[in-house]
Structures are given as structure tokens and as C-alpha cells.
Amino acid sequence: MSATKPILPSLAKLPKTYEALCRLHMPRTLHDELELEAVTEIIDFMSGHPLNADQADYLETLAELAEAYESANHEALALLPPHEFLAAHLENIGMTATVWGKLIGIDRSTASRLLRGERKFNTVHVRKTAEVLNLEASHLI
């Protein structure tokens, strides 16, 4: 599997058969974050659109591969206190506290205090963070 980002066609030109989709990006066990990122890009691209049976099967296969990789490699993060979990997650995805703060509507100093554990997450922080970062809210409580 190539760790480079896949070149995705327009949705209208998305291959219709499983075999053709596999030529776009062959599903296989993920070994690193780059491969996860490539698969996640395809999942995000295909999700939320009407798909035929082969496209839906392909999407489900990629989602299962991503879930298996994340379960095996990100499980330890879930055991961290919420502020440490989020700080580690932001580092893993290359996002700064400032950018995260802007995404959820808080200033830089508040974001920094939350990530250092000097302030507790409130329900709005948890809800917005889970939504914009596609995380389980339970990791932030």
C-alpha cells in the first residue's frame, strides 16, 4: 500500500465496481499513520453519499481496516486523563492548541489551560471537540 495520499476522482466519476475501487486504493492491513490518513481521506470522501452495493462494501472494508488500526494503536490514549488524551491526539494530528481553540470557539490561553489540565473541560468544550475532531466524547470526560 502506498503511504501517499490517493488521487480521488470526482464523486460522479467514482468507480462503480469493487474491483475498480481496489485499483484506486487496494484495501489491506494498515501499518502506520500515513496509511491510516490515506484510508481516512477516502472514507471521508465517500461517506454521506448514495453508494451502490460494491461502493458500500468497499467503504465498509476501509472503515473496518481503519477501526482495527486505531483500536490497536490508539487504545493507550483512551486511558489517559482527558487533557493528556487531547494534547496527545492534537500532537498526533499536527494541530496546535490555538487552531483547536479556534475550532471550538475559545481563546488561546483557555485552550492552553485546558490542555495542561489547569482547567476542566465543560460540556460545550467536550461536545464541540468531539464533533470537530471526530472523537468519542467519553475520552474527554
What's at 31, amino acid-wise? H
Q: What is the pTM of this model?
A: 0.54
User: What band does 13 get if pLDDT is binned at 50, 70 and 90?
Assistant: confident
What is the domain class of 80-140 according to CATH? Answer: mainly alpha
In the predicted structure, residue 101 carries a pLDDT above the cut 70: yes
User: What band does 65 get if pLDDT is binned at 50, 70 and 90?
Assistant: very high
Q: For 17-33, how does the pLDDT look when each residue is reduced to its tens digit (9 = 90+)?
A: 999 999 989 999 999 88
User: What band does 1 get if pLDDT is binned at 50, 70 and 90?
Assistant: very low
Q: Where are the domains of the chain?
A: 11-76, 80-140
In percent, how much of the chain has pLDDT > 90? 55
pLDDT number for residue 102: 94
Tell me which long-range contacts 121-129 makes (C-beta under 8 A, separation of at least 24).
121/82, 121/83, 128/103, 128/104, 129/86, 129/100, 129/104
pLDDT number for residue 105: 95
pLDDT number for residue 75: 66
